Amino acid sequence: MTIYSDAQSSSPAASATGVGGPPYLDLAANAIPGRADRTRPVASPEGKRLPVVIVSNDVVPGMGMAVAAPGLRSHGLAEGLTAAGFTVTQTVAEGPTRAKWHGSVPPPQLPDVEIIRTGDLADYLRTRAPLIVVAINSNQIDKIPDDPNIHLIVDLFAPRMLEVACQSDHYPIEQLRDIRARNLEAFARADGFIVNGAKKVPFYLGWLMQVDRDPRTVPLDVVPMTMTKGFDGHASERSTVDVTNRNIQAVTAGYLQGWSKPGQWFSTVADLVGASDGSFNVLLVPRRGTDDGGGQIDEVFNHSAVQPHKEMLFPDFQRFMSGMDLAIDLFSNSIERQYAMITRTVGAIACGLPVVHPPWSETSSYIERYDAGWLVDPDDQFALTTTLAEALNDRDALAQKAANARRLWTEVFNPEAAVGPLVQQINTIASQRKSL
């Protein structure tokens, strides 16, 4: 990993918006991309050893810092594209790196990650001249050169405007205007798009049509949240065999944000886990600008069944999660959460854990189809109590759903399986360029 500075010197692909109709609305078929042949990596001659640069929106695993959803998304896409035969480099902006790194020496160097100083991304990309640039969200769209030799694919990833609008009690109009301007530029410029869940496709089609682009001719494909495998043989054996002879280890883990503050459900979970002689492992990391929920966090950590944990590096986090039995990922309903592919939930599934989850998120349909957990409204006290009683006490059901969670990761969230549509977009661009 190096810091770069000046001193260092489309056409349509097979897509969810094709003329043949809107298959992305068929949740039984296309919303579970692992079930479709077109999601498998394409090992075509055009796709081998082609250079791809992923412009990450945050630090990535391996840099010695805690990571969030954008960095995990970049890392997962890089893993999948590398397995498909591409030469992949991830770029990370210097600003977020400096804000997170507190060591007395530079962060660990990775061969496929480069830290780019502010304002130098355009020169870096022109110098490297990659065939494809994949941008995570639109945050750095104004720094990516509008160059005919660089083909841009934008990973729409998260509905950022809804996320910001729903994060706090006030409506941040200036911040939303900035995001809107970046989004419109991205939709006007990109050669293709990917999004991490089918529910968001109609949402983004509206953006595409705002810039007067024909949605029938622009690739827009579903690439589920990509997540590195976090379970191994030991974790699988622990989940399916040993679970009948020990107390349950339940866990909730993730950043503390406006939508994820502990509610009444938290006390219910802690009480029931305690009553079953289990442990409720809690890892909540505050985000800047998010309060602690009026003292609720202190109450959470004072519960006798709760085992608090501190922020971890990603490899340590995955080892920690693979030693658990059940993930609890509950939150109140909002318009933004209905569109969200919950990264912490996918992270738990990638560690082989079944999940207790609300029924309305982008992730819910995957959990339901694979029977990889339990779906319950956290505000329905009776349903929540009944669901948790089964999850904590029916060891056969817990073991079966854990096996289903591992299958869900293998078929859907496994980076090698998930990047199939992105590989097809890149291969199409490469074959068209070769024919010129």
Q: Please report, for the chain, the start and end positions of each structural domain, with discontinuous segments joined by +.
A: 3-225+415-430, 233-413
Look at residues 245, 293, 288, 247 and name the one whose alpha carbon lies nearest to residue 266.
293
CA–CA separation, 175 and 202 (whole Å): 23
CA dihedral 193, 363, 255, 259 (to 10 degrees): 100
How high is the pLDDT of residue 295? 56
Give the bridge partners for 70, in sequence order: none
Whole-angstrom Cα distance, residue 327 to residue 86? 34
**Cα–Cα distance, 300 to 381 (Å, whole number):** 18
Cα→Cα distances 300→141, 234, 266, 282, 306, Å: 41, 31, 8, 9, 7
Distance in angstroms (rounded) separating the CA atoms of residues 324 and 322: 5
Residue with tokens 């990650």: 113
Q: Token digits for 408?
A: 């869900």
Token pair 């039995």: residue: 325
Taking only Cα atoms into account, the Rg of the chain, rounded to an integer number of angstroms, comes to 22
> What letter does residue 224 receive in the DSSP assignment?
P
371: left (phi > 0), else alpha (psi -120 to 50), else beta? left
> What CA dihedral angle connects 419, 424, 429 and 430, to 10 degrees?
90
CATH superfamily of 233-413: Glycogen Phosphorylase B; (3.40.50.2000)
Say what the pLDDT of residue 258 is.
64
Do 3-225+415-430 and 233-413 come out as alike in CATH topology? yes
Q: Identify which of 128, 127, 154, 196 has the alpha carbon closest to the alpha carbon of residue 57.
A: 154
CB contact at 8 A, 193 and 183 = no
| Three-class SS state of 53 | strand
107 token code pair: 């962060």
Ramachandran angles phi, psi of 62, nearest 5°: 100, -10
**Fold classification of 3-225+415-430 (topology level):** Rossmann fold (3.40.50)
Per-position pLDDT tens, the chain of length 436: 444 433 333 333 334 433 333 333 333 333 333 333 333 334 444 445 789 999 998 999 999 998 999 999 999 999 999 999 999 999 999 988 988 898 888 888 899 999 998 789 999 999 987 889 999 999 999 999 999 889 999 998 877 777 777 776 677 888 889 989 999 999 999 999 999 999 989 888 888 999 999 988 999 999 999 999 999 754 444 444 455 566 899 999 987 766 666 778 888 999 999 999 999 999 987 766 555 555 556 667 788 889 999 999 999 999 999 999 999 999 888 888 888 899 999 999 999 999 999 999 999 999 999 999 999 999 999 999 999 999 999 999 999 999 999 999 999 999 999 999 999 999 998 887 755 4
pTM: 0.86
